[in-house]
A and B are shown apart, each in its own frame.
Chain A
Amino acid sequence: DGGITQSPKYLFRKEGQNVTLSCEQNLNHDAMYWYRQDPGQGLRLIYYSQIVNDFQKGDIAEGYSVSREKKESFPLTVTSAQKNPTAFYLCASSKMTGGGTNEKLFFGSGTQLSVL
């Protein structure tokens, strides 16, 4: 089955620790995204990548880092600089078309990150 796999489902971070959230897709999509979901605030974009070895900051990139070494993978690291990391993190991907006729996002099932 094609889709997006996020792991782990639950993750706990200690004070001062960096943690990495995994996101893998086998949909052959060029674009990948990381969103943060907080209750009552909807989804906010952290980073996105339209091509391998390139990525752009979203609206709330501070305290986060990403890499895009392979088309299939877009891991997100939550660094110790992110002072309020507790949230539900969603990875997504989409096919890129010049005409914009097929731009729906496909989402993973999410990772709930909590601070110990």
Chain B
Amino acid sequence: AQSVAQPEDQVNVAEGNPLTVKCTYSVSGNPYLFWYVQYPNRGLQFLLKYITGDNLVKGSYGFEAEFNKSQTSFHLKKPSALVSDSALYFCAVRVRSNDYKLSFGAGTTVTVRA
């Protein structure tokens, strides 16, 4: 079985401050990890992924995430948040196999205030 936990329903930060969205995962085997963002009434957009290699992954819009195997975490970060980063963020995981099924977390709503 595979699962993802996003422990915070909401994250509020001031523009210009660092932004962190937390994600922990549980899988049997080595994980593929993803972050997606959803703007209001829209589909999800891919931000970044970790497959293998460097634990620090850089993605779209200045976001990055760090894979920590010992803590089974994949937290999303941005050094300086923008108001336009306000959205719903989803972490997702699957194992390395021929099964392409992703498991998503419940999502974290990020609000960046001006």
Contacts and interface: CB of A to CB of B under 8 A. Distances in A.
Nearest to B49: A104
Contacts of B102: 45, 105
B106 A41 contact: yes
A42 B32 CA distance: 18
Contacts of B104: 35, 42-44
Given A43-B90, A94-B100, A96-B100, A104 B46 contact: yes
B27 interface: no
Contacts of B45: 107
A86 interface: no
Interface residues of B, number: 23
Given A40-B9, A41-B106, A42-B90, A103 B101 contact: no
Contacts of A6: 43
B100 A31 contact: yes
Interface of B is mostly: loop
Interface in B30-47: 32, 34, 36, 41-46
A50 interface: yes
Given A100-B32, A110-B42, A42 B96 contact: no
Given A41-B106, A96-B100, A103-B32, A109 B43 contact: yes
A100 B96 contact: yes
B44 A90 contact: yes
Contacts of B34: 104
Contact of A48 (B32, B100, B103): B100
A58 interface: yes
In the complex, the 9 A-B pairs of residues with the closest C-beta atoms, listed nearest first = A107-B43, A42-B106, A43-B104, A104-B46, A107-B44, A42-B104, A109-B43, A42-B107, A108-B43
